[in-house]
Structure 1
């Protein structure tokens, strides 16, 4: 580079030499094929001993007027060099990656090769759900599974209100719901019944649908409960008179015999669901005892009206069941959590519905033993593999148990009676109209608790005024979980007698102390916890037997509800109490 002596040099001379350096640099960069070569050229030209730094050494040989010009030229060339090197290195890195990908290409659509060829197995829940769907599709039902028609994020309207559960309906106390918005309008669906509403709005009857899917409820995770589980729902709708309760029972029995075997015993029990009337729960006698497996009923006319269908022109039935429940019943699984552990040693034990495995299982033929795990790990306890094996186990267990305990196991529902309700004498100390729900009163009720009155919402505005409520003595079902009814925290239920359009308070006798527990002779158990009330569906079991007699006395299975001062009454005889 010019400028080794102390004589003054011109800016033109230095600029020309720098231009020559740039041309050499560009020529060499054009030949670069590796990232390492590009980095070496960068160090050669831009390093301390490179031509750019040498050019800056000529600064002292220039006139004061030319020094700024040289600085600008050097900076421009230096920036151009840096940019060229960076771009070249990026291009070479991309090319190197692409070349490596071509060399290491794998066709992921090809079948894999496993160390353990028999490691794969269909999940029992998938097999159970598919079997159920196939049974109903063979009867002419359409499967509804699309995100549009069966979304897991639902509206409050489709999940509750359109299914005959308005915001102030007491049946909402039965649900623990995952709400997604502050206004409680969006939620994770608690049942697949919401698919019925979407289909009734979208399609004109007649129709038959089967809707499988995931549902969600707030619950404590244990052997029989989970935050997420699967349901299958069916709906059939025809011209009024073409479908009746007999068709529903026939459909359910056909389904159960296809699922559990032709000799399965089935029984129907009256029950309550907000969206069907009449409603039934269905039990099967399987594995030596009666077990509840599904709920069903004729579609309530109110549900049809909410969907824009004339109930005088169309009628139908609906049924639904939990897939996990069926799978546990069929295979004798004791703990629901096993289904989500992904332990292949557990999963590989289940016969497939479409091979000889299940038919052998139901007929009592022995199943092949589970293969030992090649990893040498201890497998979990093996499930019962055949009915013959099950019968032997049942016989052994029965010989070791007393007759009383056996009867208790055969009829577990006998443990649930009115003694599980904690009904207290109370008095309404304050009442006002709910600002957002036209049917609701908000009340403060003293039931003798040290923390003060309970806040409870009641759907009584069509039957009483605020003035009627204040000072009214009532019975309060107190061991219910607190629920928000249209934003109001309601903790309990006021018991009333209802018949048709008439509703009357069930009142304690004069002299009954505030906070006193109401009892029923012959039913002396301890109250259930708030969680047990929900988990065991005690409201469904107990309320159908709460009624008033011909004199208005509130009774449970004909036995009066009593306090130390006498029996409780309502000014409405022969009515339901809830």
Structure 2
């Protein structure tokens, strides 16, 4: 039987009226033949074609019902029951076979895309690709870092599980505030219960409150992170997405609405190119006043890209910052929106499907892709432009670039590094290293610092406890053997490390006092800036002890508390 054009109505059916007893077995036989055709179908498209030819508006089974007008009234009931029974059997057969075929097709697809996890990890199809979301967030973060913003990415400083207080109340959204209707949150416990409410954070604005409580103004931060909201998943909406927020707090009057607009416009031009047109529109956000939404003229239309505003004084007050003394601004945007616009992605679900073919469309690195995509050039064009020379030459250039330390520019001097006096109050063994001591050091701050240092070969715990030291205090916090280490204890040391001696501040120096070098009065850098510009490699080689055993940088003595800092008895050696 031809599956594409099944005819279930014999010509003899027309004008049969009194012959109902002979019609019924023929209808049943025709139904059995149709079911046999369905059972032999091998693809979803073939099953759909059978369904239309059998049960569609002009289908064979549907057409049978038109014969009822040629039957006597007493025969119509029996005829209708027979046709409906055949129709029901065909519908069941179609549904069952459709499930089987779809399962078979899925297994074939899975087999064709199967990855053998036991295969040795040898790349045979070229190098990997960066995810466009990662490149977008990294690019945005670097732009703000170049303006002096410090990044906030650590889990303890940017938690994805937040309390109701940090997500809403501290941001000027009390329980009865109408702005809460704008957020559909994933609550982890009963929001109406007696205990504190927790949820998956709905925005990275919560990070701003944590930082305002922790830091003393002035400061500037950029906080990229993942957020969660209840939403119907489609081409432009997802349950999970990413935001990047900035916050700048200074003494009142230093930062104005004009500074905010200038910062936002600079950022957008860095992201989209210097010719991009930007416009600001008045808007409303609970935590800023005044508030603005920002659009860019992109590919023939205005596109909303971010929101911003001056921080509401009540938000500052809740975070423990005096709004009469300090003010600032904040801004935030969705990373997915920027990435979709930049790379021409039309469906947000593509970011999360894990398909390597999706990633293969994009450049290896963000700097290769952003400008190229905006100018309508493809990845291959950019790689061709930057691919001059053979492979060995590229590797040689890359290794040379990596090996050469950065030159110390005129702006990189010892004032970028901050050194504070502190007292070691507690010492204990590092649980995972036989070379490290863990030290609790009072640097005159709200809480003591924990610093891990490799001094176990040179000092006992009892020797260190109560010792006054100098701490390199604006290093970015790092984990050493799983324990966060917040700074570095300065020592002088010989070239072969046979002698390592603690730097000695004057006895009258107080905990928290900052060591100074005359003639170098610049502002200390942030930990991220120190890492990004490799300031330690550029500046520290000139920190030494002189012939008198005092600590000097390029011949200028380190001083604090009215006296000179000593090198612990070692002369003409390195300090670090």
Q: Which range, TM-score by smaller chain?
A: 0.3 to 0.5
Higher-Rg structure is: 1
- For normalisation by structure 1, the TM-score amounts to 0.44
